[in-house]
Structure 1
Amino acid sequence: MALRGRAWLDRFQAGCAALATRIRGARLPESGWRRGAVLFLGGATAVAVTLVLAVVYHVRFDGDNLPDHEAFSRFELPSVGRIYDANGRPLIEMAEQYRHLTPYEGIPPIVRSALLAAEDKNFFTHSGVDYTAFARVVCKLRVRTLLGRLTKLGWRNAANSAAIFPQGGSTITQQVVRGYFLKKVTDEENSDQLRHRQIPARALSAVIGARTVNMMFRKLEEIRLSLWIERTMEARFGSKRRAKEEILARYASLVYMGHGQYGLARAAEYYFGKPLSTFTMEDADKAALLAGTTKSARTYAPDSQPTERVSYRRDQILGLMVARAYLTPEQADRARKRPIVTVAPVKAKTIVVSAVVESVLDELKVLRADLDENDLQQGRVQVYTTVDARVQEISNEALEHGLLQYERRHPASSGLIQGSVVVLRNSDGAILAETGGRQFYKGRRSAYSDFNRVTKSLRQPGSAMKSLVYLAAFRSGRFDLETMVPDEPISVPNGEGQEPKRISNYDGQFKGMIPLRLALAESRNTVAIWIAGQIGMNSILETSQKLGIRTPLRSYVTTALGASEVNLRELSNAYRTIASGIVSQPRMIRKIVLDSGEEMPEVGRGPHPAGIDGRALSLIQEGLRSAVRIPSGTAHALESYGLPFAVMGKTGTTNEFRDALFVGSTYGVEGITVAVRIGFDDNRSMGQAETGGRVALPVVREILLGVYREKLVGPAPRFPGEMEQRISTYLSDGESGPDQVATGPDHTASEEHPQAP
């Protein structure tokens, strides 16, 4: 058809050229001016007809530069991407346009009727363009504006750039084409900058203005694409009726309905608090309001205080529905009498999941290189995570409470101190909660583009590193918890030409020969350095890798005191491995569902045994449990607070009290691990005596209490009875010695703050 149309147009243009040649060659006598005028008018008419036919050919037959229709045909409109928690609860919606995709069958008959009455009564009969509407549009031409433009030819001001052609007259198909295929063109047309550089466009611009020319050319393309998409959809779906139904469904899902809502389904829930699918004949008033909003959401959206224009538009559409026999006059009268009642938008309590979103996006890139944030925002992907929204909320609140307690001691730091939390499931490293910072910081609410202090912040772990040192010692076979070790002055190299660095304990005391159990519980720095010298740093670094530490640690001996930097997720995972004996990298995504319905399976992420002998694991578990139960232990505050279940853990405080940490675990594969770090982003000191036991431990305690009180992860597992009995025997025998320093909830007994040479 296109080839035949082009051949016909070529023949017509050749005839017009011959006519123009005759006109140019004609020798007119002075008395033949009338004949010349006729020839001139004839030539002008021929040119005009040629232009009209060229336009008709372009609109009806030109198949060049057509857009890709596949996504449209598959109903792939931008939708809402969601990140779900472990229980299928949406944690966050991500979208550029918030809409629900509604198939034709999901549009109730009363809503279809209202749409057709308001927007396109001949929708199911025309071929994409309703030519009967052209006369109505011509009658609405702004003739005065056109005449004013002609009298001020060449001027450019607000008056002469006003639009000459009225709005309206577009079919539903044209509106769909405008909103889907020509959105950018439509957004750019309302300006005095001409968007088309062809000679006819520039000539017309001088007469009727660039804005009007932009609109004319866009309208021509809109008509061309409307005819094309109707033919394309009919070929794809097998009949004109089915094609029309599919186009109407896309219109109902695409149209903007105000307040950031797209599509009738979102609008029905937003304005009326009910699903679109539940609309019946008794909802004719609401259907008319929705149909009215499609014309102009700014003018006709049924807000909480609807204007007279909203009521007028509703009643007008109800009248049109009667005229089209969609409603009886009685039904329309009842609908008009109903007051316009909208629901107040319900703002569901939101949980801050900024760090979760950031981690999901990072993990998504690793799992599927072809998927990114844009796919979520377009609704092409739904992500299901291991995060439990209830655990996340408990973690968020606990961190805020801990920061508030610190701020009460240091009012000048209010709003500046920062923190992070991660909660892991022991059995497989699943992340149950991740908080990358406080909920409000520097005057604004946290966002997923913010710095995630769980994964992005590399900071010293302080004495929390000592657990890895002691585990390496137990792996060597040369030590157990009853081994006597020296708590005595010791020095370490401090760089070439420097005096050796003297290592001291937090309390400034040395206790001589003490059981290794006590040295671990009280976090004696001198003992950790001595053990590192006995077993070698390579042994400690190897053990760290077996526990899941991926960040390279320096081989300095002060790494035994936490001088090398790690992120909080790595540190928590090491403790999780200690608690369970299972190696698994922390993970957050458990399932990805594409918009096609395809589910992406997990690959190669199964947990496996740590490869650490059971004796060594049992000894470090008992040692960390002792740190809680021994009165002088740095984690004894957990026992002092009366925690109703058994926990093991270790504090960490870095050089000059810059960071305070605590990592606590319940026992075995059935337990969980919670890690907290608190400090300033600029690495300033938090102040004297602001240790891990004082600042971070209360946050861990609140999280553990909340999670187990709400029974979110099952009952807290017990430690082996023989392990608890050995600790009880140690306590009853008085092996801690008479000169031990008792430790209350707000301080630790003996934490050094390491610094690398």
Structure 2
Amino acid sequence: MQRLVRSGNRRKSPRKRRLFLKLTISTGLLGVLAAGILLIYLYQTDLPLSYSEQSSELFSRNGETIAVFSDGGKNSASVKLTEISPWLIQATLATEDRQFYDHFGFDVKGMARAMFVNLKEMEKVQGASTLTQQLARNLYLSHERTWTRKIKEAMYTAQLEMKYSKEDILQMYLNEIYYGHGAYGIETAAQMYFGKHAKDLDLAESAMLAGVPKGPTYYSPYNHMKNAKDRQKIVLSAMVATGDITQKQADQAYEEMLSFQTRQERAALSIAPYFRDYVRNIVVNELGFDENELEHGGLRIYTTLDLGAQQAAENAVKSELSDSGDLEAALVSIDPRNGQIRALVGGTDYTKSQFNHVFATTRQPGSSFKPIMYLSALASGKMTSASQFNSQPTLFHYDDNRKTYSPKNFGGKYLGEIDMRQAIAASDNIYAVNTILNIGADQVIQMARKMGITSPMQAVPSLALGTSPISPFEMATAFAVISNQGSSVKPIAVLQITDEDGKVLYEAPQPKEETIVEPAAAYVLTQLMKSVFETGGTGNRVSSDIKRPVAGKTGTTSTDAWLVGFTPELSTAVWVGYDKGKTLDTTESRKAAPIFAKFTEKALEKVPPKIFPIPDSVVSVYIDPITGKLATADCPNKKLEVFIQGTEPTEFCSAHSSNEPPPEPIPTSEKPESKSWWKDLKRWWMNSKQD
């Protein structure tokens, strides 16, 4: 009986084996079929947008790329594989993926070897990611360690291998990998570390850079030079092992003294960083775009920035402050005709300080504020360009004689009886305080508000001397009103925002002009402000550097130096000072003017000089500079002065006449701009001959 049972069991075994075999074959076939279906699916399915493609880009007014908005302020530039040094390619493959050209995206042997080592050490001490896997991770995935992410990484790796050639994958990898300090891709890294193109890297430089991606912070030569050199040695040894170089070449490369870019040189590679931050703030806080949408929404942001003007601004600041220690500067330039911001420099070194001084509201503008007051005086009709005050030490009484104020002129220099042109040119404080007491501080504040000044202002006599802090941005905005014939246009930086498909998400409204004062008042003030750059003016020392009609005003306090000025095309504010309020010495207090001059000429070098447009309601008459009355034939000195029609003098000068028939006025049909224009043209011609 027992035999029969055993015999029965033996008879069933072959059937079980056949059943097991069938199940195994079926499972295998199903697995192969499923794998085939998966491969077909992966091949036909498009890869998702990469993080690079999803990053938003910032463009200049002419369509040039300014920056990329992404996590960590990504800075990248793509190049072809043929534009990358062969040394760098060999160093990367020898270190990161020696079997790159032999595997299909996954290094099975490497994975097995890594698994064995990790099990032996009971911890993860060795990885086996191929370049394709790293590329898939960098392009499409976060760096969280989950099974879902690993499965997606495997799928994207397979898709990359199916859809692209090895050369394409290697090129994408070298353009995407992170090399530290915000540099993505080998071209950007080569520029940042060595100031050269990727194609020009030698063996030593290539080995240094190829070792950085393993740990961009730990192996950065800027952070840990010893770690970087140790890593370079490992890379060179790997290249020897693969036969790419000899041991002698490796030793020579290791001993080579490398020349790295300085912090200032690295900062120069970043285009308009303060403007970029300013636009980011506008897009998120004013236009309502989400921060995540800005970094990963593939937005295309078109701005008003002129890269030529921006470069001129950065160079002008650098030329005056490159060796000035902690001395800071700000420059902002606005097109007064449409409000578009053309250039913006928020500081001397973005890597040291990201604080944007263009919008700092803690700086006193000093005498550069005076034109705002004088515009109020001219527009009110209470004063003209011929109005006179005595420049002498004066104790002023105000607030119903309950308070006194005793301003001083710089250097104790007093000029006696002077008119508005002389007061502006020499920056006379006594004349300025007389003016604000004559027209009222409240009226000056009202005018400043209309011109774009939003900072708090105190209605006291010292307001005339610029004691209320105002930002450079506000000053450039206010002076743009004077340049634009008395009309204000709200400053803008963003023209349009689209998605990656070109769909318009935001369009800046058409600029609207608001008339602040009559064109004649703005024109008269412009003519007076041109005197700042003429003989006797506080900006005369840079007059030879400016070869076009320009008007402006200097401003100097113990801690701040300003020059705010304009042409018909640009209204520009320049500030120089210390963050901690350190007192400026004489040399430092004179740096704003040359920055303004250098910027203005370079930014407009391709623009022919233009005169300021002359409104119809402007008249010009010859006056006696002593009395301010109409000049006669007996007046020994006469000057042609501009007035708003109806405010010109009507009384003739009698100080120099004899007891003969009444004097006749000197006829003139010439407008002052023509004389000024001829002087500007003559000066431009003489300077160009000297050049």
User: Taking structure 2 as the reference length, what is the TM-score of the superposition?
Assistant: 0.61
SS in 1 for 2:479: helix
**Distance of 2:107 and 2:348 partners within structure 1:** 57
Aligned equivalent of 1:51: none
CA pair 711-422 structure 1, distance change in 2 beyond 3 A? closer
Specify the alignment match of 1:310 in structure 2: 238
Sort the Cα spacing of 1:243 and 1:536 in 2 relative to 1 into closer, same or farther, 3 A. same
1:435 maps to which of 338, 342, 345: 345
Give the Å deviation of 1:375: 4.1
Distance 1:313 1:88, change over 3 A: farther
Question: Partner letter of residue 700 of structure 1?
Answer: A
Q: Give the C-alpha shift of residue 553 in structure 1.
A: 2.3
Residue 143 of structure 2 is aligned to residue 183 of structure 1: yes
Mapping of residues 593-604 of structure 1, within 5 Å: 594-595=499-500, 598=503, 601-604=506-509
2:314 counterpart SS class: helix
Kindly indicate whether the alpha-carbon contact (under 8 Å) linking 2:210 and 2:235 is maintained by their aligned counterparts in 1. no
**Do the aligned partners of residues 221 and 649 (structure 1) sit closer, same or farther apart at CA in structure 2, a change above 3 Å counting?**
closer
State the AA in 2 paired with 1:525.
N
Task: Report the Cα offset of residue 423 of structure 1.
Answer: 3.0
Aligned-pair CA distance for 1:574: 1.3
Are the counterparts in 1 of residues 523 and 614 from structure 2 also a CA contact under 8 Å?
A: no
**Which of the residues 703, 715, 718 maps onto 2:608?**
715
Q: Which of 371, 386, 395 pairs up with 2:306?
A: 386
Q: How far is the alpha carbon of 1:719 from its aligned partner?
A: 4.7
TM-superposed deviation, 1:389: 3.5
Q: What residue is the counterpart of 2:328 in the other structure?
A: 418
| Superimposed CA distance per residue, residues 608-662 of structure 1 (whole angstroms, 9 cap, x where no aligned partner) | 2533212211211122123433x444344445x57543322222233xx332322
For residue 673 of structure 2, what is the aligned residue in structure 1?
none
**How has the CA–CA distance of structure 1 residues 593 and 710 changed in structure 2, closer, same or farther, with 3 Å as cutoff?**
same
For structure 1, list consecutive stretches of 5 or more residues without a partner in the other structure: 1-55, 61-69, 146-161, 186-217, 277-286, 317-334, 405-414, 440-445, 738-757
- CA positional deviation for 1:399: 3.7
Q: CA-to-partner distance for each residue in 1:507-544, whole Å, 9 max, x for gaps?
A: 65766654333333333333333332333333222221
Q: Does 1:615 align with 2:520?
A: yes
Q: Which amino acid aligns with 1:184?
A: E
**Is the aligned partner of 1:682 residue 2:580?**
yes
Counterpart for residue 550 of structure 2: 647
Q: 3-state DSSP class of the match of 1:651? A: strand
Checking the alignment, whether the CA contact within 8 Å between 2:561 and 2:575 is kept in structure 1 is yes
Aligned to 1:550, what secondary structure does the other structure show? coil
1:396 match: 317
| Counterpart Cα distance in 2 of 1:718 and 1:467 | 20
Cα drift, residue 594 of structure 1: 4.9
Q: How does 1:512-527 map to 2 (within 5 A)?
A: 513-527=417-431
Q: Is the 8 A contact 1:627 1:636 kept in 2?
A: yes
Q: Specify which of 143, 163, 188 is matched with residue 122 of structure 2.
A: 163
For 1:378-427, what per-residue CA distance to the aligned partner results, in whole angstroms no more than 9, with x for missing partners?
Answer: 986666533533312332234417x85xxxxxxxxxx3443333333333
For these two proteins, the number of residue pairs brought into alignment is: 552
Cα distance in 2, alignment partners of residues 549 and 501 from structure 1 = 25
Deviation digits for residues 309-368 of structure 1 (CA, Å, limit 9, x no counterpart): 43356459xxxxxxxxxxxxxxxxxx999x999999996785374533443333333454
Aligned ranges for residues 494-643 of structure 1 at < 5 Å?
499-506=403-410, 508=412, 513-581=417-485, 582-592=487-497, 594-595=499-500, 598=503, 601-604=506-509, 606=511, 608-629=513-534, 631-639=535-543, 641=544, 643=546
State yes or no: 1:75 paired with 2:61: no
- Aligned-partner Cα distance in 2 for 1:605–1:421: 26
Preserved CA contact (<8 Å) 1:645 1:716 = yes
Deviations 1:710-747 (A, max 9, x none): 7545133235699998699969964699xxxxxxxxxx
Work out which of the residue numbers 107, 120, 123 in structure 1 matches 2:104. Answer: 123
Equivalent residue for 2:284, pick from 358, 365, 368: 365
Please list, as runs of the form range in 1=range in 2, the aligned pairs for 1:222-371 lying within 5 A after superposition: 224-225=151-152, 241=162, 252=173, 256=177, 309-312=237-240, 314=242, 351=268, 353-371=272-290
Measured on the aligned residues, the alpha-carbon RMSD in Å equals 5.8
**Structure 1 residues 713, 480: CA separation in 2 closer, same or farther (over 3 Å shift)?**
farther
How far did 1:578 drift? 0.7
**Structure 2 runs not aligned, ≥5 long:** 1-30, 36-44, 200-205, 220-226, 627-634, 640-652, 654-691
Range with bigger deviation, 248-257 or 585-594: 248-257
Query: How far is 1:455 from its partner?
Result: 0.8
Alpha-carbon distance in structure 2 between the residues aligned to 1:461 and 1:174? 57
What is the match of residue 202 of structure 2? none
SS at match of 2:312: helix
Pair 1:250–1:706, CA change in 2 (3 A)? closer
In structure 2, relative to structure 1, the CA distance for the partners of 1:365 and 1:716 (3 Å cut) is farther
CA gap of 1:313–1:697, structure 2 versus 1, over 3 A, is same
User: Pairwise mapping of residues 429-508 of structure 1 onto structure 2 (< 5 A)?
Assistant: 429-439=339-349, 446-447=350-351, 449-485=353-389, 487=391, 489-493=394-398, 499-506=403-410, 508=412
Aligned-partner SS, 1:478: coil
Q: Alpha carbons of 1:264 and 1:676: their partners in 2 closer, same or farther (altered >3 Å)?
A: closer
Does the CA contact (< 8 Å) of 1:492 and 1:557 recur in 2? no
Question: Which secondary structure does the structure 2 equivalent of 1:661 belong to?
Answer: strand
Q: 1:662 aligns with which of 560, 563, 578?
A: 563
SS in 1 for 2:517: coil
Deviation at 1:308? 5.3
- 1:266 to 1:636, Cα distance in 2 relative to 1, 3 A: closer
8 Å CA contact 1:394–1:707 kept in 2: the answer is no
Percent of aligned pairs with the same amino acid: 19
- After superposition, what is the alpha-carbon deviation per residue over 1:236-291, rounded to whole angstroms, capped at 9, x for unaligned? x9xx955999x969984797475676568878999998889xxxxxxxxxx9x999
Is the CA contact (8 Å cut-off) linking 2:563 and 2:596 kept in structure 1? no
Secondary structure class of the residue paired with 2:456: coil
Report the CA distance between 1:570 and its aligned residue. 0.8
Assess, with a 3 A threshold, how the Cα gap between structure 1 residues 182 and 716 changes in structure 2: closer, same or farther. Answer: closer
> 1:567 Cα deviation (Å)?
0.7
Map Cα deviations across residues 448-470 of structure 1 (whole Å, 9 max, x no partner): 85322221242222222221111
* Corresponding residue SS for 2:371: helix
The code of the aligned residue for 2:480 comes to: R
Cα distance between partner residues in 1 of 2:457 and 2:443: 12
Is the Cα–Cα contact under 8 Å of residues 554 and 562 in structure 2 kept in the other structure? yes
Distance in 1 between the 2:287 and 2:490 partners?
A: 18
CA distance in 1, matches of 2:595, 2:331: 12
Residues in 1 aligned to 2:357 and 2:215: alpha-carbon distance in whole angstroms: 45
CA-CA distance at 1:184 after TM superposition: 3.3
2: CA distance, partners of 1:398 / 1:349: 17
Q: 563, 580, 597: which is aligned to 1:704?
A: 597
Provide the residue aligned with 1:149 in structure 2: none
**Against the structure 1 CA distance between its residues 167 and 721, is the aligned structure 2 distance closer, same or farther, given a 3 Å change threshold?**
closer
Separation in structure 2 between the aligned mates of residue 223 and residue 416 of structure 1, nearest angstrom:
49
Q: Name the structure 2 match of 1:150.
A: none
3-state DSSP class of the match of 1:184? coil
